[in-house]
Each structure stands twice: as C-alpha cells, then as structure tokens.
Structure 1
Amino acid sequence: MNIKSLLLGSAAALVAVSGARAADAVVVAEPEPMEYVRVCDVYGAGYYYIPGTETCLRVGGYLRYDIGVGKGGYGGLIDVADKMGDGLNDTYYKRARAALQLDARSETELGTLRAYMHINFDWNAGVTADNLTSTGTNVGINHAYIELGGFRVGKTDSLFATMTGYTGNVIQDDLISYAGGAGADYGTHQIAYTYVGSNGFSAAVAVEEGAYDNAIDSYVPHVVAGAAFTQGWGGVSGVVGYDSNYEEWAGKVRLDVNVNEQLSLFVMGGYGTDDNVTRNFYKGWGGNWAVWGGGTYRFNEKASFNAQVSYAENKDVAVVANVAYQLVPGLTITPEVAWNSWHTENKVKIDDGFGGFLRFQRSF
C-alpha cells in the first residue's frame, strides 16, 4: 500500500512539473525569409539583381601582363642610361594591369538607366627624366559615364574612335593614330546622343572636351557626328569631327566584310585638314590622309590570326600581326610582332624597326 501511494505521488509530481515547464516554454521566432541573389538575364550573361532593388549589376574585368621588346611598335625601352655609367642599353617594357568593370542597369519610363565604370590599376616600367629605368604605379579611368535612353554624359572614348569601331584586332592598332592626336589619347569628357534603329542603322552626335594638349581652350566644344549600318555580311560606317581649338575638320569611312565564318576583313580611310596645325584631336595621322586595313582569320574556337597594315600621307607605315590563343577558358595569350617606319610631317624618314609584344590576359 505504501509503495502504491509512493508511485502515485511521484507520477502526480512529474505531471505538475511538466505542466509548469510547458507553461514557461521558450517560443523560437520563425526565421526571416532570406532573399537570395537572383539572376538578371535582361541585359545578357553575368548580371544579377542587387538585393532589394530592381537594378541589375555586372562585375567584371581582367588581369593583364604585357612584355615589349625591340624598337618597332610599342617595343621595349631603347637607349636607356646604364646605371654603372657605361653607356646606353636596351631593355624590356613591362606592365601589370588590374582592370575593374562595373555595369549597373535598370528600366525606367525614360528607357534604360545605365552607369558604367572601367578603372585600371597599373604597375609600369618606364624611364625617368634622367633617362634611367624605373617602375611605378598609376591609376587610370578608362570609362565613367551615365546613360539614360540614348543620352550619355561622362568620361569615355571619343565618338570619332568608337563610331567606326577603332581599327583591327591587333594590340598595337594605333601606331598610326586614327583619333586623339599623335599620341592616340582619345579619352574625353563627352555629352552624346545615340539613335539605334531596328534595321541595323545607328547614328550619334557628341560634344567633347578632348584630352591632354588637345583639350578645349574655351567654352566652344569639339563636335563629332557619325552613322553606321550593320548587317550579317558586315557593315559600313562614317564619322566627322571638328576640333574647335584649331578650327580643323577630319573624317573617316570604314567598310567591314564577313567573308565567311572564319574570315573577316576591313578597310578604313581618313582625311583631315591641316590649315592651322598638322595634327589635332581628330586627325592624329601625318599628312591629310591615311588608310588602315586588315582582318581576322579564326582557325578554331581557341585560336585566331590577326593582321593590320596602316599608311599615312607623310609616309608613316605600320605592319602588325599576332596570334591570339585561348589556353583555357578565360586565359588568352597573344604574341605579336610589329614593324613601323616613321617620318616627319615633311616626309623625311626618322627611323624604322621591329618590335615584339607578348600579352597574358585573364578575363572575368
């Protein structure tokens, strides 16, 4: 009887304690729903929605390592002072570059709103004022602009270079400059409008500041206008620019032909005035006229051969060829060779020579 009473009492105590603990139980809050990053396929591959917004962002860029040797083309560092004082030497030109690209886009009632930036961080080999070799770091803004619909404001390449698609697929494509003066510095502040039709036709107009010594010296901007027509067989494009500093004009016309899936060719001609100055922000070549031509032959998905020949009225000549080879996806190795001969504005030969260039580029 005592054992039975003890068991019943213990059971009652356990029930009471359990009820008390149930009444005091901690309630765990439901976790907040997590917002995962969503793919944005409206503008192509690589974009995703910034969490909590309807803005699509693409992060990209590349790491690049360049090596130049010889006298022609970009070449090496020629006739630098020997640091032991024993005369002059030739050595490599080298550059390591880290490039960051951000592209943000969203749709508005006025069209696509876009902000784009491309920043370069370089470690360069160079020559000091005393003709001694040296290295150093510099940061450059290739592009930093805003677009809404067809309007663009910011820093980018001159429309005189972009409307006709620069030149060929070689690295040293501007040994005879097609824009930006003799130094091919065609980056500029720009206000532009571009119309893009549904049939392959496009047209654009821009006011620009110029660059370095070719920057405007008053409130009157440089002016550029151009048009292009692109189809499956290739395309034709043209552009004209007015340098407000020197009141000089320059224009270019280009023809592209896709011969087949492997071979594509182009030819471009330029003409400009030189009444007040021999070269300006748009006429970067020597003499009144210049021509550029070349092409690309794709051996397969990994390898292609690129070549370009350029000639200006002052007898400047440049010949460049390379093989671009994709070793693995994202990594391309490009050995290139160039020969050029350069002259004064009066067609007097200064020098000529060969140069080699090697580029490693990991793009992402």
Structure 2
Amino acid sequence: MKMVKSLILGSAAGLIAMSGVQAADLPVKAKAVEYVRICSLYGAGFFYIPGTDTCIKLGGYLRVDTTFNGAPYNEPAWAGDLGQGNRYRDYFASRSRLAFTIDTRTATEYGVVRTFGQLDWSFASPSGSFREVGPTGQAGGLNNGQQIATEMLFIQFAGFTFGRSASAYATPWHGYPGNNTSFLVGGHDTVTGTNNIQYTAQFGNGVSGTIGLDDPLAFNRISVYNLANTSAAGVVTLASLTGTGSSGNAYAGTHVPDIVGNIRVDQAWGLFQISGALHEVNGSYNALTHVVTGGLVTPFGGPTFGANGLSEISGHPESKFGGSVMAALQIKNIPTGAGDDIKMDASWGKGDMKNIIGTSAGVRAFNMFGGGSGGAYQSIGFANATDAIYLPTFAGGDGTLHLTEGFGFRGAFNHNWDPYWSTSLFGGYAAIRYDGTAKNFYCAAYAASNLGAQSADFSCNPDFNLAQIGLITRWTPVKNLTFSAEVLYFHLDQKFTGSKVLTPTAPKPTAVYNYADQDTVSLNVRVQRNF
C-alpha cells in the first residue's frame, strides 16, 4: 500500500512539474504600449508629447497657384513691368508653398499656455518684385525665387500674447473676406503677423476686448515725403518727385509703438467688432538730398534719397499722431444656404494709410500705362499713398506734417452650392485724400521736378481712388483638398488731367503722356492641400 501511495504521489508531482514547464512555454500577451497618446482637450489633431503633459499639433498646407496677367498670389498688374506692359513683363507667374505649423498647449493654474509658429518654404517665378530692372531697361540679377519665411510666432499666457501675431486691430478674416488674392484693398491686414504685445479679456457670452502695442516698422509706415531737395552745398529746390509723382521716404526712426485695440461680439448669429489704432507720424530732417539728373528726379525705381552734412542742423518737423478706426460685421445663417455668410469692414484713417489700403504686403506706388489719345505716346495713371507730406520753411513751406486722410471698404458674400462647390463675390475700395495746403506743396514740387511742356488743360491733384471686384469658385472633391479659380478686376481712378512731357521709368521714353484712369484684369488658379 505504501508503495502504491508513493507511486501515485510521485506521478502527481511529475504531472504538476510538467504542466508548469508547459505553462512557462505558452506566449503571454504583453501590455499594449501607447506610443502616441491622444489629447482631446483642444480639438482634433492634438497628442501628448511623450513624457509630458503638453499637447502638440503638427499641421500646415501645400499650395500651388498661377496668376495670369499678374504677380504671385493674384497681385494685379498695377506697377513695375506689369503696370508698364513692356517687353519685360511676364504673362503669368507661379508660386509653390509648403507651410508647416506647430501648436503646443499646456493646461496650468493660470489657464492654457500656448505657443504657435509657422514656417513657409516657397518657390516663386522670378518675376515682379524679384526682378531688378537696370537703367537701360535690361533685366538685372534674377532671384531664383526660393524663399524661407516665418509667419505667426507667439506665446500666449493668462490672456497675454507675446511675439509675432495678428494685430489687436485686425478682424478674424483680415484681408480675406472671401478671396484668394493677397492684395485686396480697403482695410487692415496683418494675416502673417506683426511683432506685438497684447492682452485679451473675455467678458462672457462671446464678448471680448483686446488692447495691444504693435511694432509699426514692418507693415504700418508707408512713407513720409519731404518735398524739398537740399544739396550738400545748401542749394534748395523743389525737384523731389518722379514723373509718376513718387519720392523717397523721409520717415524718422520708430519712437512709439502703435496703440491698438478692439471690442468684439462673436456669437451664433455672427460677429461685430470696433477697432482703433493710434499711430505716430514723424519726419527725419528738413535738409535731405534727392539725386537729380537733367532737371528730373532719377526715374529708375524712384529717387535715391538721404541725409547730408546739413541734415542734423536743419531741424525737423514736429511729430504728429494719426490713426484709424474700423467697424466690421459678419452675418451667418443667412437664408441662401447652409454655411453661407456675409463679411464686411469699413475703415477711416488719417496719417495711417496702411489700414486703409491694406494688402498683406507693403503698399506700392501704383503706376499703370495704357493707350494714348490726342497724339500722346501713351496714357499714364499713377497713385502714391503717404502717411504725410511736408515742405520745410526754408523751401517756402510751413514746415508742418500734413497727414493724409483715407476711407476704405471690403466685403464678400460667400455661398455654398453643396458640400463640394462654393462661390464668393468680393470687392474692395479705398479713397485717399490730401488737404488743400498739401496739394499746393505737392503740385509745386511736381512742376519743379518735371519741366516738360504740358497741355492747356493740365491739372495736378494727388488724390486717388482704388476699386476691385472679384469672383472665385472652389471645388473640394475630398476633405482638405481644394481647387479654385479667381477673376479679379482692378480700377485706378486718378485725378490728374491733361497731358505732359514726362520721363517715366525705363524702358519708357521721354514723350507726351496723357493722364487717364487705368484698368486691369487678372486670373488666378490654385490647388491647396491642408494637413
């Protein structure tokens, strides 16, 4: 019996040992490793940076577009070779851009700490602003069109924003109520950001207020004209304007930031906003030198212009403050269709014309040519926006900055035909006005700078209006991929009359030109993939 018992116990022990060995050989399912942990706090696309409580989102877009009879991003043919319509102009211009964005957010006891940045890689046709035209009219050095640029770069903390961000003056749509073009006139545009510090307070129910300090140097200092031309020997003339009425920039250094702010109501029905800006306008010196050739200001790209040994002791005009105000309105849920809306903004300014003319780039001098009449070689239309002009007392002026005044309007009606097709009808308008004394000083300088014969009905008036209207249709066959085509009409309403012998920028000859309004039409086609 003892022997049987031992055999049974030994067999059982052996079976248990064998089963243990077999169990050890069985595959054990490992615990899943979460390499990417989704962060749902701030919307789709965010995930946690491994080992931290910071959420990050990577995104951007790739955009390819071509403009016919215009510069990249549907800039109208309103200046340079395109405005002249000469043999150096390009019939089309293209740009390809990859934008990469990084957005990080961390929840803290003070609220969300956010950082945001965008880096752009672009390749553009070496045309428009990329081409340098020499004094013989020959194409100068050609930039290969490659660009690396930054847009927004900012930190947000406890209601404050530090860095390069949209101005507190801006609307959410900037200069894009419904368009592709980056050159819609009529109001403010800091869509790529400007260096600033600002604070936003939320009052509840969609009501907020923002106040900020903007660095005006990059975007908001168009030009100040000193209409006197003082040589290093102290000889003073009024020969300070080109045949197309432009001059060098006599702005002094940046002394005071722009003070900007808005009050905004953003609710389900739409948005209403009032914005204001205070902008310092200052001149550098009274005695400044313009390079003059043959009685005419050097026409190639505008006059060269700078200080001389008399500048510092000549004094300067007293600085003034200008500014602007803007009212903006968006109406949603209109009866024409789901997702349709109307966006519009109206602006008034004095001494702050960037907030009237707008565009995401610097404000150009507008120079356009067309067919001549009455025996003239061609017609010419030009417009020069300034924040102020002045004529020193030693040149016969009053030595005072005369601030330029302007009014602007932009708007769009945006309609969705179905989930795949949409159309926008948009437009912009800007009117620039000089006061009576400023006009007298300007026209005296224009006459002294351009000595050619003129017709009996010639008259000088630097005021002007700009008008645009456009239509764009978009097709989105799949989410985040959009094809679009945009037609844009531009009209320059200038106020000079009659005709005059002028020397415009080469390759235009010295000849009789009659002053006339000008028009141009451009077409832009684009494909964009967001990610």
Identity of aligned residues (%): 23
Q: Partners in 1 of 2:203 and 2:516 — Cα distance?
A: 47
User: CA RMSD, aligned part only?
Assistant: 3.3
Post-superposition offset of 1:212:
3.0
Report whether the alignment pairs 1:323 with 2:490: no
Identify the match of residue 341 of structure 2 among 258, 264, 280: 264
| Unpaired stretches in structure 2, ≥5 consecutive residues | 1-20, 22-28, 134-138, 222-251, 283-320, 359-384, 386-404, 432-463, 498-514
- Higher mean C-alpha displacement, 123-132 vs 135-144: 123-132
CA contact (8 A) 2:175 2:184 kept: no
CA contact (8 A) 2:179 2:426 kept: yes
CA contact (8 A) 2:474 2:484 kept: yes
Task: Report the equivalent of 2:115.
Answer: 115
- Relative distance call for 1:349 and 1:204 in structure 2 (3 A) is farther
Post-superposition offset of 1:210:
2.2
Report whether the alignment pairs 1:209 with 2:220: no
Q: Partners in 1 of 2:217 and 2:526 — Cα distance?
A: 27
Q: Partners in 2 of 1:57 and 1:186 — Cα distance?
A: 21
Task: Report the equivalent of 2:527.
Answer: 360
Q: Partners in 1 of 2:106 and 2:516 — Cα distance?
A: 54
Q: How many residues align?
A: 331
Q: Partners in 1 of 2:170 and 2:116 — Cα distance?
A: 18
* TM-score normalised over the length of structure 2: 0.56
Give deviations 1:177-229, integer Å, cap 9, x for gaps. Answer: 5226xxx7873111011122330111101101124374693442111010111
Give deviations 1:130-152, integer Å, cap 9, x for gaps. Answer: 34665321111111100012110
Post-superposition offset of 1:125:
1.1
Task: Report the equivalent of 2:132.
Answer: 129
Post-superposition offset of 1:157:
2.5
Report whether the alignment pairs 1:336 with 2:486: yes
Secondary structure at the aligned position of 2:144 is classed as strand
Task: Report the equivalent of 1:198.
Answer: 204
Q: Which residue identity is paired with 1:228?
A: R
- Relative distance call for 1:168 and 1:87 in structure 2 (3 A) is closer
Q: Partners in 1 of 2:201 and 2:347 — Cα distance?
A: 24
Q: Which residue identity is paired with 2:267?
A: Q
Task: Report the equivalent of 1:26.
Answer: none
Post-superposition offset of 1:126:
2.6
- Relative distance call for 1:340 and 1:42 in structure 2 (3 A) is same
Report whether the alignment pairs 1:38 with 2:58: no
Q: Which residue identity is paired with 1:267?
A: M
CA contact (8 A) 1:167 1:292 kept: no
- For 1:82-101, what aligned pairs fall within 5 Å after superposition? 87-101=87-101
Secondary structure at the aligned position of 2:126 is classed as strand
Identify the match of residue 406 of structure 2 among 280, 284, 288: 288
- For 1:1-364, what aligned pairs fall within 5 Å after superposition? 34-71=33-70, 73-75=74-76, 79=81, 87-127=87-127, 128-130=131-133, 131=139, 135-162=144-171, 165-172=174-181, 174-179=183-188, 187-212=193-218, 214=220, 217-246=253-282, 247-258=321-332, 259-260=334-335, 261-274=338-351, 279-284=352-357, 287-313=405-431, 314-343=464-493, 351-364=518-531
Q: Partners in 2 of 1:120 and 1:349 — Cα distance?
A: 40
Task: Report the equivalent of 1:10.
Answer: none
Q: Partners in 2 of 1:349 and 1:236 — Cα distance?
A: 39
Q: Partners in 2 of 1:49 and 1:306 — Cα distance?
A: 38
* TM-score normalised over the length of structure 1: 0.80
Secondary structure at the aligned position of 1:54 is classed as coil
Q: Partners in 2 of 1:53 and 1:149 — Cα distance?
A: 20
- Higher mean C-alpha displacement, 295-304 vs 242-251: 242-251
CA contact (8 A) 1:243 1:282 kept: no
- Relative distance call for 1:288 and 1:361 in structure 2 (3 A) is same
CA contact (8 A) 1:223 1:241 kept: yes
CA contact (8 A) 1:105 1:112 kept: yes
Q: Which residue identity is paired with 1:268?
A: D
